[in-house]
Amino acid sequence: MVDFIGIERVQELVGRLGPARFIEELAGEIEADYLRWREFDKSARHATHSPVGVIELMPACDGQLYAFKYVNGHPKNTAVGLLTVTAFGVLSDVSTGYPLLLSELTLTTALRTAATSALAARRMARPDSRVMALIGNGAQSEFQAIAFHHMLGINEVRLYDTDPAATEKLERNLSALRLKGLRVVRCASIATAVQGADIVTTVTADKRNAIILTPQMIIPGMHLNAVGGDCPGKTELHPDILRRPDVRVVVEFEPQSRIEGEIQQMEPDFVVAELTDVLVGRRPGRVNAREVTIFDSVGFALEDFSSLRYLRRIHQEQRGSQQQIDLVPDLDNPKNLFALLAPEPAAAARTAAVFA
């Protein structure tokens, strides 16, 4: 039997801890895995593109456990009442190849994306950052707001989306959470939201080379958390922002980000640092208060590996609606797979008697 975690179980697990604590604990798991970066077999995700979206497989392995995520990105889905992103994942034992866990990752991906964003920002944003502009108020936005409020002390979030209904949804959800000390401000434009912000998070969904932020909007000391650009031909930042002499860019896995991130717009010799180097201290996340820092986040399989391992642990620790599924056969004789289809002995004997 294989452990199974569905949507209801994730709701239960997050509900017991609270979203903020869950995100913070998950960020700790992700950081621990980035600190042992060299133990992982890493590769860019395998993507199958169509005119309307992308379907991807994201594998990672540390020699003991193997994980993969299936995930799609279809920005037009919401027009027909479907999610833009859905995902599920598998965690397996390398020594046997047997799956240990099959889990939903749609909700979990939003949680781990926010956890990774905040983890990077703790090393890259100015320590006195208190105001964040949140551009794109769709499915990821609440998670980003919770993570930055809880883990970095953000006390003002400025909201903007081209869809006013998305902003209303976000404002309503944040109000219901009653996050202590968090002021939520609706803005009429990107420029208004960004003006004076310490951190700018862009998490838009359109599959195109969009220009969400222009060079004129960027002031010294800002930290940009660029989350929405996550596939070829999909970006959010004007390339001249990245060309500023005072800019420092950090990515998760450079070979993947060169294809899918904001840096897909840049020359091959454009210099970036990887998040692991910042977390272990080989490279600085920020060198002074006036530097502009950019976390060019596309999502990396190691973060899903961490999420699946964390989910399995707390799933086993916490009682509740624990489930298992018969995904793998359990045989008395592992060489006799056909036994699963063979008739029962009594039925076989009756059949033999009929034809005797």
**How far apart (Å, rounded) are the C-alpha atoms in residues 67 and 108?**
14
**How far apart (Å, rounded) are the C-alpha atoms in residues 177 and 169?**
13
Q: Which residues contact 152 (CB under 8 A, 6 or more apart)?
A: 118, 121, 122, 125, 129, 199
CA angle 298, 146, 148 (to 5 degrees): 65
Extract the tokens encoding 39: 């133990």
Pairing status of strand 183-186 against strand 156-160: parallel
**How far apart (Å, rounded) are the C-alpha atoms in residues 147 and 228?**
17
Catalytic residue selected from 3, 230, 296, 304: 230
**How far apart (Å, rounded) are the C-alpha atoms in residues 205 and 162?**
11
Q: Which residue has the tokens 């359109």?
A: 206
Is 29 within 8 Å of 7 (Cβ atoms)?
no
Q: Can 296 be counted among the known catalytic residues?
A: no
Extract the tokens encoding 338: 């056909």
Q: Which residues are catalytic?
A: 230
